[in-house]
Amino acid sequence: MTKYQSITGTRDVLPEEQPYWRFIEKKIYEITSLFGYQRVDPPIFEETRLFIRSVGETTDIVEKEMYTFVDKGDTSLTLRPEFTAGFIRLYLQNGMHMLPKPVKLFSMGPIFRFERPQAGRFRQHTQFNVEAFGEQDSAMDVEVMSIAWQLYAELGFRGLRFQLNSTGCPQCRPAYIETLKAYYHTRLQEICSDCKRRLDRNALRLLDCKSPGCQPVIAAAPVISQHLCSSCDDHFHHLTGYLDRLGRPYEINHKLVRGLDYYSKTVFEVWVQGIGSQNAMCGGGRYDGLIEQLGGEPTPGIGFGSGIERIILSMKEQGLQPEPLPEPRVLVIYFGAKAKARAMDLVFTLRNEKIPALMSFGEKSFKAQMRDANRMHAACVLILGDSEVEQGVISIKDLRQGEQIQVTEAEMVNRVKNLIR
RNA sequence: GUGGGUGUAGCUCAGCUGGCUAGAGCACCAGGUUGUGGCCCUGGUGGCCGCGGGUUCGAAUCCCGUCACUCACCCCA
């Protein structure tokens, strides 16, 4: 047993899993570029008050899930539990609000939340995050949602569907919440203790309670889509109209309310199988009041976060293969000190030609060196023994065909290039 | 925070109701070919049986505690 182990809820990404990461990153770069989004990288920690202000004081994230600590300068800092707050801070601090709108940004990196780990849920996970600032048109919502959709589709996922809802805006949501509360007060006897608590603190969350006893109450609860103001209602109708036109399947889910307070109007998720009991591969929505709340001019915004670990889990579950990473194609093996010196020259010559090449180390037997070549899936080996050194030649063995030839050093690079295709 | 499951070799696991030096497969190393891989054969390295305590003549095995992992609830990506 090793003495040290990784922290609960964190994981090591080993070489076997790297192809998934590289494949997903590659797709992210392709797609964001296609949609005209630019990468930014906010720091991993920020002042605690930024997150409290943006995420919301009464959310689970702020109440019990943040990694918060005081630094040596007595400042309370927090490892980012989400991306959006840092994006907005970055946007305002760097004068990006002066850029032509919309300002379209993305990032990728670790997110920290103190939760009990389970399948598809970690204390440190990696998010791909997209945000668009300064545009309230629902076509903007469609564009942002489409980025997530296209990413999953290009990774090979089929049968995707959006979960969609509108959470209203400051014009209409308060009245809806009052209606909802009034309704719940008539059925207080039937609901669980958690819901009694939610009723005062965060009434929207009543709708996604999983307790069996609460389900009949939820089913008969007033639905927000029937309480939207005309602005929100229009926005939502345009959005669903665009989605219909694009042929993107969606379900309107009245229970979809997000765990962060800042959302307004559109909220959405993309659901997929194979991430344990979690079903959301990404979650996001519109937050038209948040930038102003954090000290900027009134500016609409919309974005989403997608958990890379969940994507990979689900890819494995569905048998979706990433592109393989390139492997070293050539091993240079040798026998004796003289040959070893020449082997070093050769391996560097090959690398200068951009041919992935390795050499053996130490005094391994011929057989062991050949085994190494086989194990690393080399296309060929270059052999330097006493006879090759004497004759000034190099033996090249094609490991796939099993054929072996002798060439001069001048011919070597071209011969190898042919073999490693 | 709550509940279930599991901790034995690098990995996957077997060790029944407690009994001699704790096993297998894979992987790794070496040999079978003093210069030729994959397949095969032979041998080898590698374990305070998660940790601590208890019961017992005797504990990987039973009991208690603890830690970790894992799944689920909560919540979320």
pLDDT higher than threshold 90 for residue A231: yes
Q: How far apart are CA A245 and CA A412, in angstroms?
A: 58
pLDDT in tens, A347-363: 999 999 999 999 988 88
From A283, A317, A351, the end of a domain falls on: A317
Tell whether A80 is covered by a domain: yes
Query: Which nucleotide has the least CA–C1' distance to A260?
Result: B76
Asked if residue A323 is part of any domain, the answer here is no
The ipTM assigned to this model is 0.89
Same domain, A384 and A261: no
DSSP state of A63: I
> Residue A121 CB closer than 7 angstroms to strand B?
yes
Q: Give the CA-to-C1' distance from A120 to B54 in angstroms.
A: 40
Residue nearest to nucleotide B77 (CA to C1'): A307
Q: Pick from A311, A306, A299: which is nearest to A284 by CA?
A: A306
Question: Does A283 contact strand B, using a CB cutoff of 7 Å?
Answer: yes
Q: Are residues A290 and A142 in the same domain?
A: yes
Question: To which residue do tokens 């330097």 refer?
Answer: A384
Which residues lie below 8 Å from residue A46, measured CB to CB, with a gap of 6+?
A77, A78, A80, A85, A86, A89
Q: Which helix (H) or strand (E) holds A180?
A: helix A173-185
Distance, CA of A400 to C1' of B43, in Å: 30
A274 and A334: one domain? no
> Which range marks the domain in which residue A152 is found?
15-172+228-317
**Residue A104 Cβ < 7 Å to strand B:** no
Whether A153 is in a domain gets the answer yes
The answer as to whether A395 is a domain residue is yes
pLDDT at A97: 95
Q: Does any strand B atom come closer than 7 Å to the Cβ of A258?
A: yes
User: A5 lies in a domain?
Assistant: no
Considering the domain architecture, whether residues A164 and A304 belong to the same structural domain is answered as: yes
The amino acid at A215: Q
User: Of the candidates A270, A290, A317, which is a domain's last residue?
Assistant: A317
- Separation between the CA of A224 and the C1’ of B32 (whole angstroms): 78
- Do A73 and A104 share a domain, yes or no? yes
Distance between the alpha carbon (CA) of A370 and the C1' atom of B42, Å: 20
Tell me the nt nearest to A384, Cα to C1'. Answer: B35
**Which residues have a Cβ under 8 Å from the Cβ of A402 and sit 6 or more positions away?**
none
Cβ pair A254, A275 in contact under 8 A:
no
Task: Please check whether residues A155 and A82 belong to one and the same domain.
Answer: yes
Q: Which of A81-90, A176-185, A365-374 has the highest mean pLDDT?
A: A81-90
In a domain, A223, yes or no: no
pLDDT, one tens digit per residue, over A73-129 is 999 999 999 999 999 999 999 999 999 999 999 999 999 999 999 999 999 999 999
Q: Do A340 and A301 share a structural domain?
A: no
Sheet with strand A161-166: strands edge to edge: A38-39, A103-112, A124-133, A301-307, A278-286, A264-275, A161-166, A250-252
On whether both A287 and A356 belong to a single domain, the answer is no
